[in-house]
Amino acid sequence: MSTSPDNSFKNNTPPRIVVIGVGNLLLRDEGIGIHALKALQEIGLPPEVRLVDGGTSPDIIAYTKAGDKLIIIDAAKAGGEPGAIYRFRPEDLAEEKGVLTSAHELGVAQNLKLMSLVGNEPKETVIIGIEPAEIDFGIELSAALQRKLPEIVKVILKEIGRPEPPDRQE
């Protein structure tokens, strides 16, 4: 039986790693963070990893006692090929304002800064950005991002410390 997202926090045993998928599922590739999160849910991860659907307004402050690592997955326009995977840190949001663009960049940056100011930030925060191909009305990922989704999941698993997805029994 799985526990609800709030149980481990109530029991004062925060997960070691929190993965937050951010995005809007109604705008195709803008929802890549949520699509990646759903793919991770299908794999089945250990209890020390918490998966959180951050939707379009990531309330990272609610997960400031997340333990060792916070991983944020979001669409990021940096001028690369569709499906390009970027790995950056919170300080890159401020330094690369002219290069990196995400619909949620400001909210994420503000939340991370507030976490720092109150002394509740995780030991490590990593942002995985995925270059979108299409941001338009629709609930399906573009073909380019659908093809890249397994690679995106592998990158996230590596961040979690689990380099390869477990074999599935059919």
| Tokens at 29, concatenated | 């590739």
**What are 52's strand-pairing partners?**
20
110 inside domain:
yes
How many domains does the chain divide into?
1
141 inside domain:
yes
Q: How far apart are CA 79 and CA 101, in angstroms?
A: 9
5 inside domain:
no
Q: Is the separation of the CB atoms in 30 and 135 below 8 Å?
A: yes
pLDDT in tens, 32-52: 999 999 999 999 898 889 888
Domain that holds residue 130: 12-159
DSSP state of 170: -
168 inside domain:
no
165 inside domain:
no
146 vs 115 pLDDT, higher one: 146
In this prediction, residues 66-77 reach a mean pLDDT of 85
| Tokens at 129, concatenated | 């950005």
164 inside domain:
no
Q: What is the pLDDT of residue 55?
A: 79
Q: How far apart are CA 90 and CA 125, in angstroms?
A: 7
Highest mean pLDDT among 16-20, 90-94, 150-154: 150-154
Q: What is the pLDDT of residue 50?
A: 87
32 inside domain:
yes
Residue 124 CB partners (closer than 8 Å, separation 6+):
68, 69, 70
pLDDT at residue 23 is higher than 80: yes
Q: What is the CATH number of the domain that holds 34?
A: 3.40.50.1450
117 inside domain:
yes
pLDDT at residue 61 is higher than 80: no
